[in-house]
């Protein structure tokens, strides 16, 4: 009986680990990496309305490609396109918001009460529509909580250099993300509660705090978990906003 339980547990964990490549939450990194010589693609659309004297509508299209360099290591290539940013009904900005390249390595496998652990470092030669550069590091944790729940947590730091009107500004950002996933229909439908937060320290200026809660679902329309559809409704608070931020986000991911 004990042997059967061990085999069953290993099967569940291996199956969920494989599925994790496509079942990554919309805003939280996971420790799982694509299999060696396989690609992971994720395309997401995000809309968020922030009100601070005037309504600011932001439409973003983040695109992420990951490549499995080994069983524990992946190469990242990310691009975030600002489709449009409208303030007071007028379009202010559009273009490539950010380009980033990075690497992630899982250095510890789940054992007992300890979670999977990974570290990711990214270099962004283009930020703020070409007016900045950044480097970021993130600690990533993932843990199976019984058969029905999976938890993911991120703790990171980013240093960004911005140039505007011939002036240089440095921004230090602490951020953390947490996602709790419930296997409503194992490997077919996941219900997710996600929390994304950041605290920006701006040189010679104010600090800016942002916190967003995203209820979301992730569905796998086919039997093999190589393709997933995701949808969420972000609700957040930005320091200085007179009303809560609200939006919509959705996308697809696939392993090939």
Domain span at residue 43 reads 2-255
Rounded-to-integer distance, Cα 119 and Cα 42, Å: 20
Rounded-to-integer distance, Cα 107 and Cα 164, Å: 39
Report the CATH number that the domain containing residue 155 is assigned in CATH: 2.40.160.40
How many Cα atoms occupy the beta-carbon half-sphere of 244 within 13 Å? 9
Per-residue pLDDT at 18? 42
Are the beta carbons of 66 and 43 closer than 8 angstroms?
no
- Dihedral class, residue 88 (left if φ above 0, else alpha if ψ from -120 to 50, else beta): left
245 phi and psi angles, rounded to 5 deg: -75, 145
Whole-structure pTM value = 0.88
Question: Max Cα separation, the chain?
Answer: 71
Q: How many domains does the chain have?
A: 1
- Report which DSSP code applies to 128: G
Are the beta carbons of 232 and 214 closer than 8 angstroms?
yes
Per-residue pLDDT at 104? 97
Residues, the chain = 256
Q: For the chain (length 256 residues), average pLDDT per consecutive 10?
A: 43 44 88 92 94 83 96 95 84 88 96 94 93 96 92 97 84 96 90 95 79 96 84 90 89 93
């Amino acid at each position: 009986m004990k042997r059967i339980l061990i085999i069953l547990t290993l099967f569940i964990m291996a199956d969920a680990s494989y599925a994790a490549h496509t079942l990554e939450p919309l805003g939280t990194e996971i420790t799982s990496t694509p299999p060696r010589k396989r690609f992971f693609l994720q395309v997401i659309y995000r809309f968020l309305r922030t009100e601070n004297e005037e309504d600011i509508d932001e439409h973003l299209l983040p695109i992420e490609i990951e490549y499995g360099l080994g069983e524990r290591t992946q190469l990242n290539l990310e691009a975030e396109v600002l489709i449009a940013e409208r303030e007071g009904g007028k379009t202010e900005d559009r273009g490539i918001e950010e380009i980033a390249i990075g690497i992630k390595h899982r250095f510890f496998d789940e054992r007992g009460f300890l979670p999977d652990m990974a570290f990711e470092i990214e270099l962004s030669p283009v930020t703020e529509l070409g007016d900045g550069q950044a480097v970021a590091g993130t600690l990533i944790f993932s843990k199976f909580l019984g058969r029905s729940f999976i938890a993911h947590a991120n703790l990171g730091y980013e240093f960004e250099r911005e140039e505007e009107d011939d002036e240089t500004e440095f921004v230090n950002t602490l951020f953390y993300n947490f996602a709790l996933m419930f296997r409503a229909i194992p490997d077919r439908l996941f219900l997710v509660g996600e929390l994304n937060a950041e605290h920006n320290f701006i040189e010679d200026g104010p600090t800016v705090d942002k916190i967003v809660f995203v209820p979301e679902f992730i569905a796998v329309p086919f039997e093999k978990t190589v393709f997933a559809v995701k949808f969420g409704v972000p609700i957040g608070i930005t320091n200085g906003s007179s009303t809560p931020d609200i939006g919509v986000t959705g996308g697809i991911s696939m392993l090939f």
